[in-house]
Amino acid sequence: MMKKNLVTLLTLIIVMQFAGRAQSLGDNTKHKLTDYPELESYINFRFENERYSGVTVIFQDSILEFSSIKGSANRDWDVNNTLDTKFDLASATKMFTAIGIAILYDQDRINLDAPFMKYFPSFPLEIASEITLRQLLSHTSGLTDLFFEEAYLRGDRSRLRKVSDYDPYFSELRIGHVPSDRIMYSNTNFLILGRIIEEVSGKNYYDFVHEQIFVPLNMCDTGFFEKDEVVKNRAVGYFNDAQASMEFGVPNDDQIRSNIAIRSIKGMPAGGAFSTVSDMNLFMNGIRSEKLISVETYKLFTKEFRGGYGLGFQVYEQEGQRVIGHSGGFYGVSTMIFYMPNINRTFISLTNTDFAAQPIFDRFLALQNDINTFRPISISSEELSQYEGYYAVIEGEMKGHQIHIQATGERLLFDNSLEFFPFGKDSFFDIDNDRFSLIFQRNENDEIIGFERGDGGMFVQVAENIDSTQVRTVVALILPEEILQEYIVELIFEEYGMMGGHRPTISVADGALLIDNMMKFLPYEKDKFFLHDDMGMKLHFNRDSKGEIMGAHVLRGEDVVGKLSLLDK
């Protein structure tokens, strides 16, 4: 009871702080405290475990019901986040571009089912001549993602200050097949839509969005700020994701870094605008109120088209709630901005750390619908150590895979990647996805003999404890450099699976293949390699009838998680 009262008191203090900032939140903002102690407790848990930094709010129309503020906007100067902090929206920016197109649609200046090149005739790829605006808006065009192209990744992002500065990258794109029941998410679609706004309106994209969206809705703290521009109350994004090394050459040293060096100089139609929680609530309310577009057009754009996506909006059902809005993610950025018409609430979480916002949104929906959630408890390090060891999967997902579990701090480290926290005796949950539980089994002597991991649905993994003598080891082969040189070929990840559209660089170093200057794969059989610090990750090359390399598979255990094909010359 004391803990609950403390959480409630903290919530009251935060809302009182918010009330003191009412002017910066708009004159029409009202405040009504609603008790969300479970949500605040969960945010605190994630913050204490360095999984969250940002601001989360819940609005009913213009009435603020809940707010939580945690973490630093700038760690160099130890500046805390506030309700006035401007956060990078990442892909949630796509909603601005979609509404820009919707405004032109309401003005009868565009046809959603016309080929987009009618409005953007200088687009360089004739193979895209049949793609429509509706396909761009719904991510069903099949155009590959420009942001995974080598030219972009190795290019000078400090010069991309106009939307037209992205035009030279369009000539490198390809078109993939999109199944009739799926989407193929691609930032390219919205870069093109931004150029169409410019071509049709006669104004540059940034001026159009400012004049047609931000000004009418009084969004005074929203903009596409350049990173070398002095901007009051702007948050810096922080990350330690190893994949940034593959994409941007960031050292893979597990250090927390700011994302300033890897962001484009300026946001664009696909992502990177900055805003506050208050401004984003003004936006979500404004698009429903005929201040910008007609009700009919709002319904058209926010109706699911395919695969949980409408026309520039994510539209799907979760935990019995229909949700409309958009998420966003980049290194050091995580956002969730969603309106739920069934309960007339808008949830906004703007954060400046990796994967911070979605678990909070998931927890809110679960609590809103009285779905059982896991609550962390503390256990001693001695108790925690009894779960350490090696396990072999005997049933379900990744059968045959061996898993190493280690105790660290107050949690279990699962297979060197996932972190599980206790919520009961022998029971743990994944901190980043608490649908996943890890339940250990004991024998009659009270000894741990295995575990079952699952998400309460289709995913099930049953494993048994094994001793160190049963742990498989893979012995690396020593191959001459001229043999390793055979594997230096130009490959591209196929659209479905990990890193779709990415072109990895392959080099030889110290008797191994170095992928993207980061991942070191050692040979253990002909055409077969394993990751030097994770034997469960393998890279298998494929050859044609002439013995020439034609592609490769990335495997996690026995499961293929990525496919690469030879890049066409």
Asked if residue 387 lies in contact with residue 405, where contact means CB atoms within 8 angstroms, the answer is: yes
Tell me what pLDDT residue 316 has: 96
Tell me the C-alpha to C-alpha distance, in Å, between residue 535 and each of 406, 409, 471, 480, 528: 16, 25, 11, 22, 12
Range in 164-168, 291-295, 473-477, 500-504 the model is least confident about: 500-504
The count of residues in the chain is 569
CB atoms within 10 A of CB 273: 27
CA–CA gap between residue 136 and residue 356 (Å, rounded):
28
Phi/psi of residue 558, each to 5°?
A: -100, -5
Which two tokens mark 252?
């893979």
pLDDT at 27: 47
Pick the CATH number of 381-470 from 3.40.50.2300, 1.10.4190.10, 3.40.50.620, 2.40.128.50: 2.40.128.50
pLDDT of 9 > 80? The answer is no
**Could you write out the DSSP letters of every residue in 329-369?**
EETTEEEEEEEETTTTEEEEEEESBTT-HHHHHHHHHHHHT
Domain with CATH 3.40.710.10 in the chain: 90-368
pLDDT of 35 higher than 70? no
Q: What is the per-residue pLDDT for 568?
A: 64
Q: Does 90-368 carry CATH code 3.90.79.10?
A: no
- Over the stretch 478-503, which tens digit does the pLDDT of each residue have? 999 999 999 999 888 886 667 777 77
The whole-angstrom distance between residue 253's C-alpha and the CA centroid of its chain comes to: 21
* Residue 48 or residue 399, greater confidence: 48
Q: Give residue 31's pLDDT.
A: 53
Structure confidence at residue 36 (pLDDT): 85
368-389 per-position pLDDT tens digit: 888 888 999 999 999 999 999 9
Which amino acid belongs to residue 265? I
**Which range among 4-8, 104-108, 468-472 shows the weakest confidence by mean pLDDT?**
4-8
Q: Please state, for a pLDDT cut of 90, what percent of the chain lies above it.
A: 69
Asked if residue 345 lies in contact with residue 339, where contact means CB atoms within 8 angstroms, the answer is yes
Q: Each residue of 245-279: pLDDT tens digit?
A: 667 778 877 789 999 999 899 999 999 999 999 99
Determine the average pLDDT of the residues in 510-532.
Answer: 87
Query: What is the pTM (predicted TM-score) of this model?
Result: 0.83
Q: Which CATH number fits domain 481-566: 2.40.128, 3.30.70, 1.10.10, 1.10.1200?
A: 2.40.128
Q: Between residues 435 and 163, which one has the greater pLDDT?
A: 163
Domain(s) of CATH 2.40.128.50: residues in the chain: 381-470
